[in-house]
Structure 1
Amino acid sequence: MVRAVDDGRGRGRPRKDPERLARWTPPEGWSRLVAWISPEEKRALKHAAADAGVPVAELVRSLAGVLASGAVTHVELIDRAVRGRPAMEKIPTLFERDDRFRVVDRPRAECAWVFAGEGVGTEKLDGTNVRLTVRSGHLVRVEKRRNPGKEQKLLGIVDGWYVDTSPDAADDKWVLAAAGNTDVTGWADGEHSCEALGPRIQGNPLGLADHLCVPFDVAAPVYEQAPRGYRELAAYLAGLESRFSPGNLAEGIVFHHPDGRRAKIKRKDFPKAA
């Protein structure tokens, strides 16, 4: 249920004097929007606003702004919700970064569960993120990740999303080849996030002879003894052999929590002297 209210009060939160409310006069023609949301959605809005360093109201206005400008269409925004598909999750890196974008020995708060010894590490595969939809052992849909461009990032859009591939698009040729070479007959019905790998994808760092997709929830190699400390991980990843493609170095580790949370770290995230 959503309703617009134009009461002209413009009330805000208490400031220095708790008995008085700050007042803000909106531009002419503006109206106040009230919506009922779930506790989970409310927390998500608050966390996103906190990460961006802006009030929730400004975050909501930014969302409305990108819709009004056409940077994101209503289909891209609500298509997942309408069909019950989850939004793409941005996996956090274990440690904070410096101004050269290398990680430093300062754990990120949202990854505290990793340092508490929770979850298990799996190999991070260096390819292209895709999503395969399976029904009754048959591949029925292939999607690829789209990342926000420079202009979209300036509008506050930082997370990626999935879009359909097309057999007529040259850019999708090798992703579709990887999907076509992947045996999904034993996969459960649903949508599976995967890494598309192969000779013509991302420089083929694992030296694979054929294209294929590896589902994160089915086949990612497990590293149960992966360390959790900064220096230990730097040393561990420097020589970690890929279990998916022996003889080649693994790109990194993704830690998976039983409740679905994930956190990642890559070999190249560390400075050379770490």
Structure 2
Amino acid sequence: MEERKGRGRPRKDPERLARWTPPEGWSRLVAWISPEEKKALKRVAVEAEVSVADLVRALAGGLACGAITHEELIGHVRKGIQVMEKIPTLFERDGDFRVVNRPRVECAWVFDGEGTPTEKLDGTNVRLTVRAGRLVRVEKRRNPSKLQKSQGIKDGWYVDTVEGAAEDKWVLAAARNTDVTSWPDGEHSCEALGPRIQGNPLRLDDHRCVPFNLKVPVYQGVPRDYVGLRDFLAELESRFVPGALAEGIVFHHPDGRRAKIKRKDFPVSA
């Protein structure tokens, strides 16, 4: 007779876990979350190689012992939502993935004249952590794979760069070549640019990072209709590198919402 296998759960002793008794004084916290939020928690837990319960307890423990203050936590949550949330394109797209003259509903505020237009830089999204004017951490954005997208994971997240890794060489070069001495402490989402990044459309001579919250150029008199934006972007000069064409525009609403449009989004014959 074949030996009966276990139930296949990723636990060494599921029966013992099922009878786990919390320490005296502990209480159970229950929260209803959406399927997307549940997947996000599981994703972080998998990368940290812990259970979701341990992940939540670690966060609570960090708050309890003062490793992170509630002000810092709130700040990170707000910045993370703004940065990692996919920025919608102003118009709907056709079968060739080009925009058509049909505004997206969630971008109505742009067409109502709200939001500040800034230059969209064509590079690699990274996040630099600064403490006392020193660079202490460099992360890069990771987008979900095709499989992950099919599982409902739509938004990207940040992972650490690895010293010596070929794929991180130029991102790290851009980070180290960026003067952060005057930057406030915190995590700064940036665009890494340079000769070996994304084809270097701005024709830069060196690698550098541009923080979204500190140095991104602002444009005045930007049109807010399909034809106007198409013609405006066709000849828009970069404020960051005069003489080169800007990739596009990102509109920033005071409440944190953003929307984008790129020159190459429009059909060639539009």
- TM-score category, normalised to shorter length: 0.7 to 0.9
Q: Which amino acid is 1:90 matched to? A: K
CA contact (8 A) 2:36 2:153 kept: no
CA distance in 2, matches of 1:217, 1:207: 23
1:63 matched to which residue of 2? 39
Report the equivalent of 1:17.
none
Counterparts of 1:199 and 1:156 in 2: how far apart (Å)?
Answer: 35
Which of these residues, 143, 160, 165, is aligned with residue 164 of structure 1? 160
Q: Show structure 1 runs of 5+ residues with no match.
A: 1-33, 46-58
Q: Select 1:103's aligned residue among 99, 106, 109.
A: 99
The verdict on how the C-alpha distance between 1:71 and 1:149 changes in structure 2, with shifts beyond 3 A counting, is farther
Q: Partner letter of residue 194 of structure 2? A: G
Distance 2:37 2:248 in 1: 37
Contact 2:36 2:152 in 1 (8 A): no
Using the alignment, how far apart are the partners of 1:265 and 1:60 within structure 2?
26
Asked if the contact 2:237–2:243 (Cα under 8 Å) also holds between the matched residues in 1, the reply is yes
1:215 aligns with 2:215: no
Superimposed CA distance per residue, residues 136-164 of structure 1 (whole angstroms, 9 cap, x where no aligned partner):
11111110000111111111111111000
What's the counterpart of residue 249 of structure 2? 253
The residue that corresponds to 2:31 in the other structure is 36
Whether 1:73 aligns to 2:46 is: yes
Runs of 4+ in 1 over 6 A off after TM superposition: 76-79
Tell me if structure 2 keeps the 8 A contact 1:62–1:155. Answer: no
Structure 2 residue 241 is matched with structure 1 residue 235: no
Aligned residue number for residue 115 of structure 1: 111
Q: 2: distance between equivalents of 1:143 and 1:71?
A: 15
Q: 1:150 to 1:237 in 2, by over 3 A?
A: same
Aligned Cα root-mean-square deviation (Å): 2.6
- Return the TM-score normalized by structure 2: 0.74
Q: Which moved more, 1:108-117 or 1:202-211?
A: 108-117
- Length-normalised TM-score, structure 1: 0.73
Which position in structure 2 is the counterpart of 1:30?
none
Q: Any idea what SS the aligned residue of 1:73 has?
A: helix
Distance 1:180 1:144 in 2: 14
Question: Does the 8 Å CA contact 1:129/1:193 hold for their aligned counterparts?
Answer: yes
Question: Structure 1 residue 242: deviation in Å?
Answer: 0.7
Query: In 2, are the aligned partners of 1:62 and 1:156 still within 8 Å (CA)?
Result: no
What is the CA distance between 1:225 and its match in structure 2? 1.4
Residues 91-143 of structure 1, C-alpha deviations (whole Å, 9 max, x = no match): 11111111111111111111111111111100000000000111111111110
Larger proportion of strand: 1
Q: Write the letter of the residue equivalent to 1:160.
A: G
2:87 and 2:260 in contact (8 A); partners too: yes
> Which structure features the higher share of helix residues?
2
Identical positions, percent:
68
Q: Distance in 1 between matches of 2:186 and 2:38?
A: 32
Distance (whole Å) between structure 2 residues aligned to residue 60 and residue 145 of structure 1 = 19
